[in-house]
Amino acid sequence: MADALVDYDDVLAAYDPALGLEVHVELNTHTKMFCGCPAVFGGEPNTQTCPTCLGLPGAMPVVNGKAVESAIRIGLALNCDIAEWCRFARKNYFYPDMPKNFQTSQYDEPIAFDGYMDVDVDGEIVRVEIERAHMEEDTGKSLHVGGSTGRIQGADYSLVDYNRAGIPLIEIVTRPILGAGAKAPDVARAYVAQLRELIVALGVSEARMDQGNLRADVNLSLSPKGSGVLGTRTETKNVNSYRSVERAAHYEMRRHAAILNDGGSILQETRHWQEGSGTTTSGREKSDADDYRYFPEPDLVPVAPSREWVDELRGTLPENPTVKRARLQAEWGFTDLEMRDTVGAGAFGLVEATVAEGCAPQAARKWWLTELARRANESGVDIADLGVSPAQVAAVQALVDAGTVNDKLARQVFDGLLAGEGTPEEIVAARGLAIVSDEGALGAAVDKAIEANPDVAQKIRDGKHAAAGALIGAVMKEMRGQADAGRVRELVLERLS
Amino acid sequence: MAGALADGTTTSVALTQAHLDRIAAVDGAVHAFLHVDAEGALAQAAASDERRSAGSPLHLLDGVPIAVKDVLVTEGLPTTCGSKILEGWIPPYDATVVARLKAAGLPILGKTNMDEFAMGSSTEHSAYGPTHNPWDLDRIPGGSGGGSAAAVASYEAPLALGTDTGGSIRQPGAVTGTVGVKPTYGGVSRYGLVALANSLDQVGPVTRTVLDSALLHELIGGHDPRDSTSADVPLPDLVGAARRGADGDLSGLKVGVIRELAGDGWQPGVMARFTESVDLLVGMGAEVVEVSCPTFVHALATYYLILPAEASSNLAKFDAMRYGLRVLPEGVASPSAEDVMRATRDAGFGDEVKRRIILGTYALSSGYYDAYYGQAQKVRTLITRDFEAAFAQADVLLSPTAPTTAFKLGEKLDDPLSMYLNDLATIPANLSGVPGISVPSGLADEDGLPAGIQILAPALADDRVYRVGAALEAALLDAWGGPLLDKAPDLEGTL
């Protein structure tokens, strides 16, 4: 086993990476894929179930029309062809939390196929080809009780919650992405990030990676440089943040190279991503000969979306993300670098939403990329999951614009927001953060500062206005930062001229 | 019976009690039932009588008791599918057809015996022991719905529901002298029918007369939003067609005799009754043509690839985890889920079920799919084309329902292939989804046992099978001087 990873530059000197991404999106339909049970996250175990999603003998599935609509819209947004006629198939295998011991999925007849997405990787557009997007149902969830790890090994017993069983999923599969070289991990990250933005824009899923609404499997293989022969791949399952997608690809490239350099061969298997250590561990061995005994699901009639309907749905698509990005960059007046940083931080949609709430674009960018990005990083979450909404950011900036607080005080408002202390206005009031513009109080503080710093005062009287900074600083300190710096400067100069 | 209820000659409670008494008297010998719900049936009967005395508008069959094949799930009543693996399972919901029976006020007498998971042609593959043919208790009642057919033939139930995947309503009907109907695929909801082979299964009536079947069919049929394969079109007027047929005029009707399903190798007595029936139809003005359906000779092989394939997938859910039997393997200290599943399936499934799971798993496996399952689907299409060509020449198609009368219990148990041949004539209809009826055609000369004639019509033209079936039934009734079933031995006298 390769304990020592190969240095990344050395990987690239010897090998070409091939990347493939499979992303599962849980749709936000009101009901499940094949029954009328509510399709919502959480709930007491096994309360959102019926004979169909429990797979009871005799129960039958009926396709959720809204899920088909979402699938078509995703397919169209990914520039796919939409099948005129397609079917569901049974994927037969035994799995503890799969009630029928087969999954109703699509096999050789997916609803959408042959598409692409142009992905912005640090300003460079990379075309990722989409092989297919197909519909299927989610499984239940196992809870292993006892033992120390919460995993099945060592557990005393296992419980299964079928609330999630039957929630509609769309699986989006790319063709192998070749030629990305050193940027393969960045492409993986940017693809998942942009795909998620698209899903959010389509409104078809909550797309929360931390809750498993959107799960990425990262396939990776290496081939000897220039050989053009695809190597054996591993599939790192259920990676749940952009950063982890990038790190998983990076790690697997270095791990594969170590094995190959030692003359070993890669085992075709699934891998589990370990967030803490930034490594992957072995999962299930998986060969191409996995025999799922697919055959058309006889309980479901074929899905044959009319061309009129598809065209109608085409009309509901949001603007193409690449086009939209160029348009908004121009509207916002961002430099290429500013734009790249915004996208790279996963803040594009947040900035957009904040601007839509009335905030100036530069201010929105500043808050998300500095203050909020720092806090998200400290908490180890994506900034979208930090718990501050675009509307709140816009409200904070509105307070700055009104002169109620300055940037420094605004940071304390964010403290209050994250602590759930109410609206920005309420936090300013409760914490007493508003800037003091009472002339009497300011005047007294200015007089006090002049008295305490006679040398500085003399310099200003001599015409060296630049020295005013020291007095302003003293006033701000006295006022605990809650003074209007511009007004303080005016008062200082008034008194000393 | 419906008439006697309507004019107050009897009550539903009296009718239901009479049938429960009959069950108590003869079912020890016949073994048509796996579970009798006397209490539930009498409560439903009392409720029906109350509705009637209150003058509420009632379904014609309100208050007439019925038996239900144990493959249909019934809320609060055991459902085993004739298998040990489901012993003790009480479903939390009703099949759509059962819900419709309840809504119309038919008391449910109980659940009838069947070949395990509906796999068989003799009801000898039930894990709970075979059902006996009321005409001769040493003989099979047909299968897999032998319990429903025997219940009706032995006067334990006036009506019953069966399911027909390859002939499991029609073939038992033929060998017990009852009427059995396989509706058009999609004409009756399958929701709550524990699937054997989903693309072939169909729920249908088992009764003593064609009119009874039409009434029951109209009651259970029609679109069900919970079954996506159920046809969203109105049912044709089946009762009207049966009544028109009973008037006996078939002028202008073209009947086709399927060359491949009658002739050499068929029991002479069965063929004799068949020929007589065809002559009777001619006597009522029908024109007879001979049609050829050459691909029907491949129907059996096709069926025995498609059925096990679907069945192997359907039966995967019986994994000992959530309901039914759970067997812990012997000599294993801490068994894994797989160990428990293996031990349970070994103990819970019978030989025929295991045989078909293995066959189906093989037929679907990669590398063999195209050669077997894929090929079978192609032949299925050809069989449908044969039907289309034949229905271009004739309004209905005829054949004997089964090649022989009832054979002896145990006679073919060790010879699955010869057992499979019993469904030779009935299987093509399932492969193509067309409707069919089996009507008693008399007793074979050799053994004095019932034979049946099968009438097939194009998909969604179920009314035709009722019209022709009722016409033939009326003519035969005249010829016999009464219902065929009245010629059956009096069980209480022979016990």
Which residues in A lie closer than 8 A to residue B316 (C-beta atoms)? Answer: 92, 94, 100-102
Residue A197: which residues within 8 A CB-CB, separation 6 or more? Answer: A321, A348, A349
Determine the average pLDDT of the residues in A468-483. 81
Task: Specify whether the CB–CB gap between B228 and B449 falls below 8 A.
Answer: no
- Over the stretch B322-371, which tens digit does the pLDDT of each residue have? 899 999 999 888 888 889 999 999 999 999 999 999 999 999 998 899 99
CB atoms B228 and A61 under 8 Å: yes
- Over the stretch A170-202, which tens digit does the pLDDT of each residue have? 999 999 999 999 999 999 999 999 999 899 889
- A491 vs A370, more confident: A370
Give the domain ranges of chain A: 8-313, 319-431, 439-496
Which of A391-405, B59-73, B93-107, B168-182 is predicted with the least confidence, judged by mean pLDDT? A391-405
What does pLDDT average to over chain A? 90
- Give SS3 for B120: coil
Residues in chain B: 495
Quickly count: other Cβ atoms within 10 Å of residue A493's Cβ: 13
Q: State the pairing for strand pair A214-224/A234-239.
A: antiparallel
pLDDT at B252 over 70: yes
Taking only Cα atoms into account, the Rg of chain B, rounded to an integer number of angstroms, comes to 22
pLDDT at A1 over 60: no
CB atoms A62 and B309 under 8 Å: no
Residue B446: which residues within 8 A CB-CB, separation 6 or more? Answer: B267, B268, B269, B405
Nearest CA-CA partner of A196 in A19, A350, A369, A366: A350
pLDDT at B400 over 60: yes
Determine the average pLDDT of the residues in B199-222. 98
| Residue that has been written with the tokens 């196992």 in this structure | A142
A283 CB-contact burial (10 Å; exposed 0-12 / middle 13-18 / buried 19+): middle
Which residues in A lie closer than 8 A to residue B361 (C-beta atoms)? Answer: 293
A223 CB-contact burial (10 Å; exposed 0-12 / middle 13-18 / buried 19+): middle
Token pair for residue A399? 């307070």
Q: What residue in B sits closest to A93 (Cα-Cα)?
A: B316
- Give SS3 for B6: helix
CB atoms B317 and A100 under 8 Å: yes
B316 → closest Cβ in A61, A101, A298: A101
Token pair for residue B405? 């009368």
What pLDDT, on a 0 to 100 scale, did the predictor assign at position A2? 43
Which residues in A lie closer than 8 A to residue B362 (C-beta atoms)? Answer: none
- Residue B374 CA to residue B370 CA, distance in Å, equals 4
- Residue B277 CA to residue B476 CA, distance in Å, equals 8
- Over the stretch A122-178, which tens digit does the pLDDT of each residue have? 878 899 999 999 999 999 998 888 766 656 666 778 889 999 999 999 999 999 999
User: A70-81 burial, b if ≥16 CB within 10 A, otherwise e?
Assistant: bbbbbbbbbbbe
Rounding to the nearest 10 degrees, give the CA dihedral for residues B445, B446, B451, B453.
-70
Determine the average pLDDT of the residues in B421-428. 94
What pLDDT, on a 0 to 100 scale, did the predictor assign at position A402? 87
Q: What residue in A sits closest to B363 (Cα-Cα)?
A: A293
What pLDDT, on a 0 to 100 scale, did the predictor assign at position A149? 62
- Over the stretch A406-444, which tens digit does the pLDDT of each residue have? 888 899 899 999 998 999 999 988 888 887 767 777 888
| Catalytic residue list of B | 69, 144, 168
Token pair for residue B479? 């010829």
| Closest CA of chain A from B199, distance in Å | 5
What pLDDT, on a 0 to 100 scale, did the predictor assign at position A152? 62
CATH of domain A439-496: 1.10.10
- Residue B258 CA to residue B45 CA, distance in Å, equals 44
Please indicate if any CB of chain A lies within 8 Å of the CB of B225. yes
Among A56, A92, A94, the strongest candidate for a mutation testing the B interface, having the largest count of B CBs within 10 A, is A56
Determine the average pLDDT of the residues in A12-20. 96
What pLDDT, on a 0 to 100 scale, did the predictor assign at position A344? 76
Three-state SS annotation for B334-356: CCCHHHHHHHHHHHHCCHHHHHH
- Over the stretch A304-343, which tens digit does the pLDDT of each residue have? 999 999 999 999 998 877 788 889 999 999 998 998 888 8
- B141 vs B1, more confident: B141
Which residues in B lie closer than 8 A to residue A300 (C-beta atoms)? Answer: 228-229
Determine the average pLDDT of the residues in B394-407. 97
pLDDT at B87 over 90: yes
What pLDDT, on a 0 to 100 scale, did the predictor assign at position B135? 97
- B266 vs A432, more confident: B266
- State which H helix or E strand residue B270 sits in: helix B268-283
Q: According to DSSP H, which parts of A219-306 are helical?
A: 242-261
Nearest CA-CA partner of B223 in B250, B191, B189: B189
Q: State the pairing for strand pair A234-239/B436-443.
A: unpaired
- Residue A172 CA to residue A114 CA, distance in Å, equals 11
Which residues in B lie closer than 8 A to residue A55 (C-beta atoms)? Answer: 317
DSSP state for residue A441 in the 8-state scheme:
H
Determine the average pLDDT of the residues in A59-75. 98
Determine the average pLDDT of the residues in B486-490. 92
What does pLDDT average to over chain B? 96
pLDDT at B51 over 80: yes
| Closest CA of chain B from A171, distance in Å | 23
Nearest CA-CA partner of B159 in B218, B234, B199, B200: B218
- Over the stretch A217-251, which tens digit does the pLDDT of each residue have? 999 999 999 998 889 999 999 999 999 999 999 99
Residue A86 forms beta bridges with which residues?
A303
What pLDDT, on a 0 to 100 scale, did the predictor assign at position A483? 78
Determine the average pLDDT of the residues in A259-278. 93
Residues 454-473 of B with CB under 8 A from A: none
| Closest CA of chain A from B337, distance in Å | 8
- The full DSSP string for B440-465 is EEEE-TTT--EEEEEEE--TT-HHHH
CB atoms B364 and A293 under 8 Å: yes
A60 → closest Cβ in B91, B191, B321: B191
Residues 184-213 of B with CB under 8 A from A: 190-195, 197-199
Which of A314-318, B77-81, B459-463, B488-492 is predicted with the least confidence, judged by mean pLDDT? B488-492
- Give SS3 for B248: coil
B198 → closest Cβ in A289, A293, A299: A299
pLDDT at A289 over 70: no
Q: State the pairing for strand pair B450-456/B396-400.
A: antiparallel
CB atoms A92 and B313 under 8 Å: yes
pLDDT at B319 over 80: yes
| Closest CA of chain B from A21, distance in Å | 25
- A405 vs A146, more confident: A405
